[in-house]
A and B are shown apart, each in its own frame.
Chain A
Amino acid sequence: MSAGRLRVPARARRGEVIEIRLLLEHPMENGFRRDTLGRAVPKNIINTLVARYDGREILRAEFGTGIAANPYLAFFTRATASGEVVVSWVDDAGLAGEVRAPIEVG
């Protein structure tokens, strides 16, 4: 239900600032919409997203209903050691997702 794509450079020099790009598949229902039968569609958004690199938290995002459907997020981090970038999230329905990508630092 909620999948994601994560893009990080495969290799980086130590100390280099690298861009991490993330695209999630999620309707981000804001709770104001009605379906074709006029029933209110309950609010269901990805409310929390955490990015970790080599075990350390590099970004924590708390989303509101003002984030567009299929959230896109690009941010930066400093390449310190070879390791994995792990992004995990959870929505209002309690559904969690996770994407990972390795990075080699030389």
Chain B
Amino acid sequence: MRRRRFLQISGAGVAAVALPLRAQQLLPAHDLQPLIRGIAGAAEPMPGRIRIVLPQLAENGNSVPLEIRVDSPMTATDHVRSVHVFAERNPRPLVASFRFGPDAGRTQLTTRIRLAGSQRVVALAVLSDGSCWTDGAEVVVTSAACLDEMSL
């Protein structure tokens, strides 16, 4: 009897602790495919040539450092046209688009993004020959951005 009572109380405790974690996952993941297809067109995005670097664990979703590198000679005939960043669990999944001139020299950029909870962040590069390259990274976010006020 006492044991049963203990289990009931501790069970409630576990549920209470688990609740904030669940609250972070209120927003279902967007399907990125239509967005990616809208940018890539008929080209099938392939892995390689682009690399996305994010911390595996971000304490604060309001500002997560992001680095993107694309392997390209950056000449007039062979260069990166654009790079796009998607966060599938953000209320607006298209985070940013960057268009490069052929004189960029090196396609590498660093910025800071908002993440509304733990999710996969995807980068897409469109090259001057029309080919598309993609990479993704999973980020665990301890304290989410954007949705905190909405979910209250």
B101 touches A61 (CB 8 A): no
Q: How does the 8 Å CB contact mask read for A73-100 relative to B, with 1 for contact and 0 for none?
A: 1111110100000000000000000000
Main secondary structure on chain A at its contact with chain B? Answer: strand
B105 touches A67 (CB 8 A): no
A65 touches B114 (CB 8 A): yes
A64 to B64, alpha carbons, bound, how many Å? 15
A33 to B148, alpha carbons, bound, how many Å? 8
A75: chain B residues within 8 A (beta carbon): 98, 104, 108-110
Query: Is there a chain A Cβ closer than 8 Å to B113's Cβ?
Result: yes
A61 to B96, alpha carbons, bound, how many Å? 7
A33 to B111, alpha carbons, bound, how many Å? 22
Cβ 8 A contact of A67, one of B99, B107, B113: B113
Q: A17-B106, A75-B108 are in contact. Are A62 and B101 (CB under 8 A)?
A: no
B96: chain A residues within 8 A (beta carbon): 61-64, 66-67
A75 to B104, alpha carbons, bound, how many Å? 8
A70 CB → nearest B CB, Å: 8
A78 touches B111 (CB 8 A): no
A17 touches B63 (CB 8 A): no
* Contact size range, B: 35 or more
B99: chain A residues within 8 A (beta carbon): 59-62
Query: Is there a chain A Cβ closer than 8 Å to B95's Cβ?
Result: yes
The closest CB in chain A to the CB of B113 belongs to A66
A69 touches B62 (CB 8 A): yes
The closest CB in chain B to the CB of A79 belongs to B105
Chain B CB within 10 Å, residue with most, of A17, A57, A75: A75
B149 touches A33 (CB 8 A): yes
B106 CB → nearest A CB, Å: 4
Given contacts A59-B101, A66-B94, could you give 12 more A-B pairs where the C-beta distance is less than 8 Å?
A: A32-B147, A32-B150, A56-B101, A58-B101, A61-B98, A63-B96, A66-B85, A67-B114, A68-B63, A68-B111, A76-B104, A77-B105
